[in-house]
Amino acid sequence: MLILLPPSETKRAGGSGPPIQVGALALPQLAPERRRVLDALVALSADPDAAARVLKLGERQRGEIAVNAALWTGPTMPAIDRYTGVLFDALDAASLDRPALRWLGAHVLIHSAPFGPVGALDPIPAYRLGAATSLPGAPPLRRLWADAVSAALLELSPSFVLDLRSEAYAALGPVPAEIPSAYVRVVTETESGAARALNHFNKHAKGELVRALASDRPRAKTPAGILGWMRDRGLRVDATTAEWRLYVT
């Protein structure tokens, strides 16, 4: 089983790990694409005004340009610790025990814009880049990543993929049709009985779901097995289509 998570715009600074080695990350066959994006970001950082414009940074955010300039040389930390925000705060990896952290490392990929999908425990530097950004000197991120990531996932050949990414990041690497998968959308039920998509609680519910999976470490490897575990956990899931609806109140 493989879980795909989106990244977060907010990140912890610093780190104590050595500079990034793109070939040592999960899915090492993506190293050429990773180098191309990182080189483009570093080159862009040489012109602060252009970088601020391309990355849509305000005056108070200009420090992010120096962060990008140091992508090849800056300190790293595990991806699961690098990201903050609603989803990662709900997951709260820092409070998990070692077996749960090892499970995250074996089963979770976080799909970033500059590195593609990386393992939860892969060391990465801080950065600033969103899925929709167009970098000078590089193809649009969707064109650069989509086919390469899909091919890498197909080569990995997980038994089942639980896709918790946002639509923007799912577009940067669609799960191949040959791999059993479910795209999870968090919804609530309105008074009329209709399903309404959520934003903040969408991220929170996904973080709690991954935390529960890491804590329980179910042996299930199929969609039916994961559904059974979710329902045993008291979760309401509509899985009548390939897009699962996780209901929260």
Question: 225-236 pLDDT, tens per residue?
Answer: 999 999 999 999
Sign of the C-alpha dihedral, residues 104, 29, 7, 169? Answer: negative
Question: Looking at residues 74-91, what average pLDDT do you find?
Answer: 97
Q: H-type helices in 98-160, by residue range?
A: 98-107, 141-156
**pLDDT at residue 49 greater than cutoff 80:** yes
Find the mean pLDDT for residues 119-137.
97
Which tens digit of pLDDT belongs to each residue from 174-222?
A: 999 999 999 999 998 876 767 777 677 899 999 999 999 999 999 988 9
Look at the block and give the residue holding tokens 């699962």: 244
Please give the structure tokens belonging to residue 142.
């969707």
Q: What is the pLDDT of residue 164?
A: 98
- Per-residue confidence band for 117, with pLDDT thresholds at 50, 70 and 90: very high
Record the tokens describing residue 112, joined without a space.
């970033």
The pLDDT tens digits for 152-171 are 999 999 999 999 999 999 99
Whose tokens are 């575990």? That residue is 229
Query: What residues contact 180, with CB distance under 8 A and at least 6 apart?
Result: 159, 160, 161, 222, 223
Contact 238, 230 (CB under 8 A): no
Cα atoms found within 13 Å of the Cα of residue 16, Cβ hemisphere only: 1
Residue-averaged pLDDT of the chain: 95
Q: Which of 88-97, 139-148, 192-201 has the lowest mean pLDDT?
A: 192-201
**Helices (H) and strands (E) in the chain — how many of each?**
10, 10
Q: Quick one: pLDDT at residue 200?
A: 73
Compute the average pLDDT of residues 28-38.
98
Q: Which two tokens stand for residue 106?
A: 């074996």
What is the arithmetic mean of pLDDT over 118-122? 98
- Which residues 6+ apart lie within 8 Å of 91 measured at CB? 80, 207, 208, 210, 211, 214
Structure tokens belonging to residue 231: 């329902």
Contact 182, 163 (CB under 8 A): yes
Percent of the chain with pLDDT over 70: 98
